[in-house]
A and B are shown apart, each in its own frame.
Chain A
Amino acid sequence: MLTWRNMHVTVRTVSGLLNSHRVIRSRECMCAHGRIRTFTTGRILHNKFFKDLENQFNAARDKVADALPGSQWSPFEMNPNLPPERADIVIIGGGVIGWSIAYWLKKKERVRDGVKVIVVEKDPTYSQASTVLSAGGIRQQFSLTENIQLSLASADFMRNINEHLGVLNQEPVDLQFNHSGYLFVANESVAHIMEENYSTQRFAGAKVSLLSPVQLKEKFPWINTEDVALASYGLENEGWFDPWTLLNAFRQKAISMGVIQSIGEVTGFNCTLNRMDTVDGETVDVKRIKHVNVRMPNSREYQPVECAIVVNAAGAFSAKLVDMMGIGTGPKDTLSGMALPVEPRKRFIYVFNCPDGPGLDCPFLVDYSGIYFRREGLGGNYITGTSPEEDAEPDVSNLDVDHEFFQEKIWPSLAHRVPAFESLKVTSAWAGYYDYNTFDQNAILGIHPLAQNMFFATGFSGHGLQQSPAAGRAMAELILDGSYQTLDLKGLGFQRIMAKEPLLEKNIV
C-alpha cells in the first residue's frame, strides 16, 4: 500500500519536475535579459507562473534602478530612520508650535529648498504632548496686547486655513471650529480688571462685549448671577476646535513642502564656547550649538546633526534642553544663572454628562474662581477643569488623574455657577502638561543671550495651541528676516527675564 502511494507520488513529482523544467526554460526564453533573474530555486507550479513573473519583474526593475547612478543603494547598511547629517534648522519638538514654525519657515523661504528644516519629535504617538491633550479653545480675551494680537492673527489664519494648509486633490481641512465664544464672569473685586482688559481688547481689535448681570441672565437663563458683577462675552473669532486636526494639517503641509520629520530624542549638544566679559565684569560662557545629538528610539544609536540654528519648541520639556547645554547653572541673579523659567505643570480635564445642562449656546465659561467648562458635542457632555493653587500643584512625573480634585475643587464651584450641574456624572478624565512659565505665564519667544543660535518658542502656559499659527510666523520672521515683520513681539523676549520685569497676564485659566 505504502509503496503504491509512494510510486504515485513519485510519478506526480517527476511530471511536476518535467513541467517546471519546461517552464523555467520557457521563461528564460521570454525574458531575454534573464541573466540577472530567476531568484527562486525551488519548483514553481504552473498556475503561479504569472504572479511570480510579476514579482520578479519588479525585483529586476528595482535592481536596475539601484545600479544606475542617483539611486540610494550603498554597500554599507545604514539605518534609514536616522536624521540627515546636516541641516540648516533643527526644530526640537513636534507639537503644534514646532510644526507651525516648520511650515512658516518653508513658506517664507524664497527659493525652492532654500532652508533644510528637520523636526525632531521623540514620541510619534503624542501620548504626553500638550497639543493633543488640550481643551482646544481660542480666545482674544487677554490682558496683554501681544497675546490678543497673537490670538487674533491665529484666528485669521484658521479662517482661511484651506488657503494656507490645503493640499491639492486632498480633502479640505476641517477644524470643527465651534464659534461659541468665551464668557468670563467676574465678581466685584475683579470687575475693574475686567473693564481695563475690555478696553485693551477693543483697542487691539477683538470683538468683545461687556454684560451686566441682568443682561447675562437674559442671554443665559441657566447661569446663577447671584455674585456676578460683570461678564465679558466674545462675539467673534472665539470658540474651540480640534487640536489634532490642526497639528496634522501643519505637519502634512510642511512635509509636502520638504520638511524632514525625524523620530528621536535629543540627548545632547556639541557647542563651541566663547568666554566673554559683560559690562558688569561678569565672565560668561556664550555657547554656539554645532551639533544636535539625536538618539533613535529604543536604541543607543545616535546621529549628530550639524546645524546652524536650533529652535526649542519642546513645550513642557524645554528646560531639559537648556540643562543639556549647561546654561543657567551659575549663581543666581547673574546672567549665567538665568535658566529657562519653564516647567511642566499637570492639569486635569474631566468629561461629565448632564442631560439638563445648557444647550447649543453654551460658551466656554470661565469663572472668577478659576473653573472653566465648555460643551462637548450635542449629547449633553461637557468638559471642565481648573488651575490648582500654587502650593497644591500635582506631581508631574506621570499623567494620572486625581478624581478627588474634581469632587473637592471643581464640582462645588460648577454647581454654584450653573445649578443644573448639581446632578452630573463624570464619564472620563485625562491630564496634560502646561509648559508653565513660572516667571510671568506668558510665551518666551527669542534668543537666550548665552545660547547664540537657539531660538525659544515655549512657555505658553496653556495658550500655546491658540497662538500657534501666529507664533510660528513670528519665529520664522525672526529666523529668516532677523526681526519681527507683522506683529511686534519684542516684549515677549528674554529681555524681560534678564531685567526681571514680568509681563503678567491677568486672565490665565
Chain B
Amino acid sequence: MWNCLIVLVERAMFVLYGSRFAFRVNMAAPLVPLQRFCKLASLHVCGRRRLWSSSVATPPSLYKRLLLALTQRFYDVEILLNWRSQLKSQALQKKNAYYHYTQEHYGDNVASAYFILNMHGSFRYAGQSEWFRSDSSGKFSWDFVNQKDSLLEEVDLGHTVINQMGLGNLVGNPLRTLSLRGCHEVDDWALARLHVFQDTLEELDISCCPHITIGGLAALRNLKGLHRLNVSSLPRLGSPGLVIIMLEEMLPLCQVTAKGYDLSLTQLGGN
C-alpha cells in the first residue's frame, strides 16, 4: 500500500515539476505534503535564478519569483503573461498614436497641443508667457483650441510615457526647449527622431531616462544649435566622463550638464 502511494506521489511530482530539479525526500515521513516540495522546489529555482541574472541589481520579489516559477512549468501561465505584456505595450502605443483626426480638423499646432496635454505634459506658446498644463486629475482648459496659429516654443514632457512614436505628434513645431526628463519609454530611437528640430532646438533635457545609451547620444550630432543639454543620471552610460567630453566636443556651442555620476578615477588592478 505504501508502495502504491509513494509511486503515485513520485509520478505526480514528475508530471507537475518534470525533471528540472532534484529534491530531497525524507522517507521517514512518507505523508509529507506537496507544499513542502513546492517550497523546496521554488527555493531551489530561485537560487538558480539569482545565479543567472547577475545583471539584476535587486533580487526580484517573491511575487515575481512565483510568477517566473509558474511560467516555466505551465504553458497557460506563460500565455497569460505574454498577453498581459502585449496588452500593456498596445496600450502604450495607443497613447502615443498619431492624432490624425485632430490634425485633420484643427491643424498641426492644435493636434500637438492636445497630445501634450493628454500625456500630462505642459507647453508654452511662442510670444506668450503662460504655461498650459493639466492638473493632477488630468483636466485641462480648452483654450488652446482657439489658438490655431500659435507655435509651440517650450514643451515639458518630463515623467510621461512618450516614446519614439509619440514624438511624431510634435513634428512641425519650432521647439526651443524640450524636456524628456525621467521618461521611461524614451530610448535611442526617440533621440534619433529629434533631428527634425535641428534648426530651432536650444535646450534639451534627457536626464534620468533609463533606456538611453551612447548610441542614442550619437544621434544628437544633428542638433548643432543646442545651447544646453542635460544628460544627468543615465544609468546605461558605461563611461560617463568620457561621454561628457565627447559630447562637448561634438556640440561646441553647448553647455552639457551631467550630474549624478561618479566621475572619480577608479584604480585598476595590477600596477
Interface segment out of the listed A231-239, A296-304, A466-474, A497-505 = A231-239
Given contact pairs A169-B68, A179-B191, A360-B246, A32 touches B6 in the complex (Cβ within 8 A): yes
- B81 touching A168 by the CB < 8 A rule? yes
| Chain A, 140-185, CB within 8 A of any chain B CB | 159, 163, 168-169, 171, 174, 176-181
In the complex, which residue of chain A has the Cβ closest to the Cβ of B82? A168
* CA A53 to CA B25, docked complex, whole Å: 9
- B195 touching A235 by the CB < 8 A rule? yes
Contacting A57 at CB < 8 Å: which of B2, B3, B11, B25? B25
- A169 touching B71 by the CB < 8 A rule? yes
- Tell me the interface secondary structure of chain B in the complex: helix
In the complex, which residue of chain B has the Cβ closest to the Cβ of A156? B189
| Chain A, 394-426, CB within 8 A of any chain B CB | none
Residues of B within 8 A of A64 (CB): 7, 10-11, 14
- B19 touching A62 by the CB < 8 A rule? yes
- B11 touching A179 by the CB < 8 A rule? no
| Chain B, 79-103, CB within 8 A of any chain A CB | 81-82, 85, 89
- A61 touching B217 by the CB < 8 A rule? no
B166 CB, nearest partner CB in chain A, Å? 13
Residues of A within 8 A of B14 (CB): 61, 64-65
In the complex, which residue of chain A has the Cβ closest to the Cβ of B219? A179
B145 CB, nearest partner CB in chain A, Å? 31
Given contact pairs A30-B27, A236-B192, A171 touches B222 in the complex (Cβ within 8 A): no
Q: Which among B82, B192, B224, B247 has the greatest number of chain A C-beta atoms within 10 A?
A: B192
Residues of A within 8 A of B3 (CB): 32-33
Interface size class of A (residues with CB under 8 A): 35 or more
Given contact pairs A64-B11, A236-B193, A378-B246, A181 touches B221 in the complex (Cβ within 8 A): yes
- B24 touching A50 by the CB < 8 A rule? yes
- B221 touching A178 by the CB < 8 A rule? no
Interface size class of B (residues with CB under 8 A): 35 or more
- B242 touching A168 by the CB < 8 A rule? no
- B224 touching A178 by the CB < 8 A rule? no
- A359 touching B249 by the CB < 8 A rule? yes
Contacting B216 at CB < 8 Å: which of A30, A61, A179, A359? A179
| Chain A, 200-217, CB within 8 A of any chain B CB | 207
- A360 touching B249 by the CB < 8 A rule? yes
- A176 touching B215 by the CB < 8 A rule? yes
- B221 touching A361 by the CB < 8 A rule? yes
Given contact pairs A179-B219, A361-B218, A219 touches B71 in the complex (Cβ within 8 A): no
* Interface check B213, CB cutoff 8 A: yes
- B218 touching A65 by the CB < 8 A rule? no
* CA A58 to CA B53, docked complex, whole Å: 27
One digit per residue, 1 when the CB lies within 8 angstroms of any chain B CB and 0 when it does not, for chain A 355-396 equals 000011101000000000000001000000000000000000
Residues of A within 8 A of B28 (CB): 30
* CA A237 to CA B195, docked complex, whole Å: 11
In the complex, which residue of chain A has the Cβ closest to the Cβ of B86? A163
Given contact pairs A61-B14, A176-B215, A235 touches B246 in the complex (Cβ within 8 A): no
Q: Which among B14, B25, B219, B250 has the greatest number of chain A C-beta atoms within 10 A?
A: B219
Contacting A33 at CB < 8 Å: which of B6, B221, B222? B6
* CA A242 to CA B10, docked complex, whole Å: 47
A66 CB, nearest partner CB in chain B, Å? 11
* Interface check B22, CB cutoff 8 A: yes
Given contact pairs A64-B11, A168-B71, A360 touches B217 in the complex (Cβ within 8 A): yes
- A159 touching B218 by the CB < 8 A rule? no
Residues of A within 8 A of B164 (CB): 159
In the complex, which residue of chain A has the Cβ closest to the Cβ of B55? A171
One digit per residue, 1 when the CB lies within 8 angstroms of any chain B CB and 0 when it does not, for chain A 335-352 equals 000000000000000000
| Chain B, 204-219, CB within 8 A of any chain A CB | 213-219
- A361 touching B19 by the CB < 8 A rule? no
One digit per residue, 1 when the CB lies within 8 angstroms of any chain B CB and 0 when it does not, for chain A 57-98 equals 110011011000000000000000000000000000000000
In the complex, which residue of chain B has the Cβ closest to the Cβ of A220? B221
In the complex, which residue of chain B has the Cβ closest to the Cβ of A176? B215
* Interface check B188, CB cutoff 8 A: yes
* Interface check B153, CB cutoff 8 A: no
* Interface check B119, CB cutoff 8 A: no
- B188 touching A177 by the CB < 8 A rule? yes
* Interface check A271, CB cutoff 8 A: no
* CA A281 to CA B123, docked complex, whole Å: 75
- A159 touching B71 by the CB < 8 A rule? no
B interface list, Cβ under 8 A from A: 2-3, 6-7, 10-11, 14, 19, 22, 24-25, 27-28, 53, 55, 68, 71, 78, 81-82, 85, 89, 164, 188-189, 191-193, 195, 213-219, 221-222, 224, 239, 242-243, 246-247, 249-250
Query: Which 5 A-B pairs have CB atoms at the shortest separation, nearest pair first?
Result: A179-B219, A361-B221, A360-B246, A178-B215, A179-B192
Beyond contacts A64-B14, A378-B239: 4 other A-B pairs, Cβ-Cβ < 8 A, are A50-B24, A179-B219, A236-B192, A360-B221
18 contacts between A and B (CB under 8 A): A32-B2, A58-B19, A61-B10, A62-B19, A64-B7, A65-B19, A168-B71, A168-B81, A176-B215, A177-B188, A178-B214, A179-B188, A180-B221, A237-B192, A239-B218, A359-B250, A360-B218, A378-B246
